[in-house]
Amino acid sequence: MCTMICERTSMEGSGKGRQGWFPLKNANVSYDHPFNAPWEYAVNIDFVNEDKGVGARVAVELSPESAKRLAEAIITTLERGEADPQIKVSVL
């Protein structure tokens, strides 16, 4: 908003928004004013699908430390899952 610091990356997966589940297309990660979290700045993550309108959005607003912990947790989880030869991600 004021910082305009935002990274966009494509996504595959599903998100559960106001109208239920929808296929994800992008994640927008910004370091800017949150709408609800009680700080001047937050790490805001919006999982969106623009093709389905702006309401197709799953939003979280995190403190910077929370965002780092989330990023680390995702990496750790990925490393554990990818190290297990019995786990393969595939379309059922």
Partner 1 sequence: MYTTEQYEGMIAETITIKGANGDEIHTYFARPQGPGPFPAVVVIHHLPGWDETYRDFTRKLAHHGYLAISPDLYCRDAHGVPEDVAAAVRADGGAPDDRVMADVKGAADYVLSLPSSNGKVGVWGTCSGGRHAFLAGCRLNVFDAVVECWGGNVIMGPDQLTDKQPVSPNEYTDDLSAPLLGLFGDLDQSPTAEQVNQHEAELKAAGKVYEFHRYPEAGHGFFYYHAPMYHQSSAVDGWEKMFDFFSRNLS
Closest contact distance (angstroms) between CB of 78 and partner 1 is: 24
**Cβ atoms of 34 and 55 closer than 8 Å:** no
How many chain residues are in contact with partner 1, going by CB under 8 A? Answer: 24
Closer Cβ to partner 1, 5 or 74, answer by number = 5
Task: Confirm or reject binding of residue 52 to partner 1 (CB under 8 A).
Answer: no
What is the DSSP pairing of strand 26-32 with strand 57-62? unpaired
Q: Which of 25, 57, 60, 66 binds partner 1 (CB under 8 A)?
A: 57
Closer Cβ to partner 1, 59 or 70, answer by number = 59
Query: What secondary structure does DSSP assign to 41-81, as a single string?
Result: -EEEEEEE-GGG-TT-EEEEEE-HHHHHHHHHHHHHHHHHH
